[in-house]
Structure 1
Amino acid sequence: MFELRDLPNYETLAEFAQRYGNQDIDGLQTWLILASATSEMLSAFERNLARDGLSQTQFFVLLLLKRNPGGLSVGTLADGVAVTSQTMTRVLDRMEAAGMCTKLANPGDRRAWIIQLASVGEELLSTALPSHYEWVTRLMSRFDAKERESLQKLMMKLNGPSALSPEPGAG
């Protein structure tokens, strides 16, 4: 989560750039605005999900299970939600206790589980998705079609495999 709410003005960025060797003040300012907006958006997303008693991880697990009615392994769910298998196991234990999913023995590997969506999880999605879609519609209504297309293209540039990785040896 990006925690800086009091963003520095351009003059402060320029002063720091001179003092600490930043060659791209405009880039830093753009990054600060993007990081702040993203953080605010994700916080609002989590607050919206919390109204239905869901965390972001639980919401995405339910969506993955809905898209895969035959079930998914713990590892596949962990990869799909970008958490460790250990974290996913803890999340799934809580979700199973709440009736959102079921664990079935994996016929191909007796040490593993197949996770499937349960009726309570299905009901939660039926409640959460309409309010989520409504929230996204309100958020994205600030952009016209051309702006959305531009935003998508710009964000895809950031989603490239090495775009967000620090340079080797960078601290």
Structure 2
Amino acid sequence: MFELKDLPSYETLVRLGEEYQNPDVDGLHSWLIWASATSEMLAAFEANLAQTCGLSQTQFFVMILLKRNPQGLSIGALADGVSVTSQTMTRAIDRMEASDFCHRKPDPEDRRSWLVYLTANGNETLGEALPAHYAWVAKLMYNFDSDERAMLNRLMLKLNQAGMLS
């Protein structure tokens, strides 16, 4: 999460840039606005999930991954899919099992590992969460016309391709 709430003015960035040799004040200004907006959006996303269906971001995305993979997924695959450590994912799956969102079964191809599956309750919870999430995203994205959305997509893909986000 981006923690700076009190963003510096452009004039402050220019002054600090001169003092500390920033070669790209405009780039820093854009990055600050982007990072702040992204942080606010993610905080609102997490708050909406918690409020509408009592889920964390990790639980929500694990359910989506399990829905997309009814043959089950390993803890490692889930951890990779949600960008957390296997240890963190194991704790998340423990909590999700206790809430009857998923269950583990031994992997028939590897007796040392387990596969995780979505339960009927997890599927039902996801069925309640997705419409609320879709409505929240639609409300957020309503402010952007199709050209702006296309530009936003191009810019974010360009960031991903630059390797800055991985």
Helix, strand or coil: the match of 2:124? helix
**Structure 2: distance between partners of 1:34 and 1:127:** 31
Q: Is the CA contact (8 Å cut-off) linking 1:69 and 1:117 kept in structure 2?
A: yes
CA RMSD, Structure 1 to Structure 2 (Å): 1.0
Residue 47 of structure 2 aligns with which residue?
47
Deviation at 1:57, TM superposition (A): 0.5
Residue 36 of structure 1 aligns with which residue?
36
The equivalences for 1:16-165 within 5 A come to 16-51=16-51, 52-160=53-161, 162-164=163-165
**Structure 2: distance between partners of 1:91 and 1:151:** 32
Deviations 1:46-76 (A, max 9, x none): 0011021100000000000000111111110
**Structure 2: distance between partners of 1:164 and 1:62:** 24
Q: What 5-or-longer segments of structure 2 have no aligned partner? A: none
Larger fraction in helix = 2
Q: What 5-or-longer segments of structure 1 have no aligned partner? A: 166-171
Which letter maps to 1:75? G
Deviation at 1:163, TM superposition (A): 2.7
Q: Is the CA contact (8 Å cut-off) linking 1:57 and 1:81 kept in structure 2?
A: yes
Helix, strand or coil: the match of 1:162? coil
Helix, strand or coil: the match of 1:159? helix
Residue 168 of structure 1 aligns with which residue?
none
Deviation at 1:109, TM superposition (A): 1.1
Helix, strand or coil: the match of 2:97? helix
**Identity over the aligned pairs, expressed in percent?**
62
Which letter maps to 2:14? A
**Structure 1: distance between partners of 2:70 and 2:162:** 30
- TM norm structure 1: 0.94
